[in-house]
Homo-oligomer: A and B are copies of this chain.
Amino acid sequence: MKRRALSLSLALLLAAPAVAGAVEFTPQELARATALQKKLVTLDSHLDTPANFERADFDILAAHPGNLLSQVDYPRMVQGALDGGFWAVYTGQGDRSEKAHLDDRDDGLQRLSVIHQLLAAHPDTFEEATTPADAARIKAEGKRIVYISMENASPLVADPSLLSFYYKQGLRLMSTAHFLNNEFADSATDPKGPEWHGLSPAGKALVQQAQKLGIVIDQSHASDDVFDQLIAMSPVPILLSHSGARAVHDHPRNIDDARLKVLAAHGGVIQMNSYSGYLIDNGASPERKAAEGALMGKYGDWEHMKVADGAKLTADLKALDAKYPVRKATLDDFLAHFDHTLKLIGPEHVGIGMDWDGGGGVAGMEDVSDLPKITAWLLRKGYTEQQIADIWGGNVLRVMQQAQDWAASQAH
């Protein structure tokens, strides 16, 4: 339960009052941005949307505006000119007992299955992609692109050899840890501090196994030591699927400038995150946190909430915001991280991974329908269409191609 409570607590931040960021775009700028995105392959590298596939009343073909449980669906992907991305097999982790590891394993397989069920249910609208070339082909066929990723390798603790099954089922991007340390790696945010001082021996073996299969390693959520070890051991570039710049907001989930330069020198890419709690300090009071806890009790288990409950919870949180205000990150805050990172390592090493349906979203960009604001901003800043294409997908696909090419070379 703890993991779910934590997820909820963070996601609640979404519900703060929607104060628009200072940045504004004209209808002309947004129209031009949308038109450009329609030409490009636009991918977000961290979509937590598969969590919604398990909600009985979720319909990906319907729009769910103003519901904190849903920021990604087909109508809003069309509106925001988002072609797809990496749809995550996310699992938390239990108490790291043997039973918890088996539950994590089952939860991961279940999440993987519901992604394939979504694909089976909507074959004319979504298609699974496993190679970089698939993205443009699927877009040309008028469908949305579904790469499969794993956030937190906890489903593999019980039996790391299950990675072969995930690979056969399409897994092409994988992170080691999430909020807390696990058997593979230290998290950036475990209150207990480092356990392995990076990757465990099992974690190193898992990374090597993944890279031999051509699976890209995702560093987001893992500790700095894990980053350093991944850079040292990886024959291919790594990805940060949803992270921010520590120079802009000093939070362990963000990455410092020195490491960003190492990442880029190693050919890697950071995909910019829009998770409010990592962009800024929201200044939540103890009273606010207690009130959030009480609200949680009312709605129960986050993972089994219905989408309809999400709408009610959204309303309840608006009332909470009136009583216990918190600062919510704005589009300006997101752009500050984006701008800093782009200037530091260049548009060949930066992309988009907003953590939609996983706690992402800022005032002024509440869901995927607003994504053309990113392109409008890039155009205003003078980035070329090629650079914008790289940011929206070219960079992450380049990293994937390198990972797959290296794996193929090893198989010979």
Contact = CB atoms under 8 A, between A and B. Distances in A.
Interface of A: 102, 105-106, 109-110, 112-113, 116-121, 123, 158-159, 161-162, 164-165, 168-169
Nearest to A119: B117
User: Chain A contact residues: over half helix, strand or loop, or mixed?
Assistant: helix
A120 B116 CA distance: 9
A109 B159 CA distance: 14
Given A110-B165, A121-B123, A159-B159, 6 more contacts: A102-B161, A105-B165, A106-B165, A113-B113, A117-B119, A120-B121
A116 B161 CA distance: 23
A327 to B, nearest CB: 41
Contacts of A168: 106, 110
A164 B110 CA distance: 12
A120 B165 CA distance: 21
Contacts of A118: 120
A164 B117 contact: no
A113 to B, nearest CB: 5
Contacts of A119: 117
Contacts of A161: 102, 158
Contacts of A116: 113, 116-117, 120
A110 B170 CA distance: 12
Nearest to A105: B165
Contacts of A112: 113
Contacts of A164: 102, 106
Top 3 closest A-B pairs, CB basis?
A117-B120, A120-B121, A106-B165
B158 A110 contact: no
Contacts of A109: 109, 165
Contacts of A106: 164-165, 168
A52 to B, nearest CB: 14
A108 to B, nearest CB: 10
Nearest to A117: B120
Contacts of A102: 161, 164
7 contacts: A105-B162, A106-B168, A113-B113, A117-B119, A118-B120, A120-B121, A158-B159
Contacts of A117: 116-117, 119-120
Given A102-B164, A123-B121, A113 B169 contact: yes
Contacts of A169: 110, 113
A319 to B, nearest CB: 37
A138 B121 CA distance: 20
A119 to B, nearest CB: 8
A41 B112 CA distance: 33
A165 B165 CA distance: 14
A42 to B, nearest CB: 26
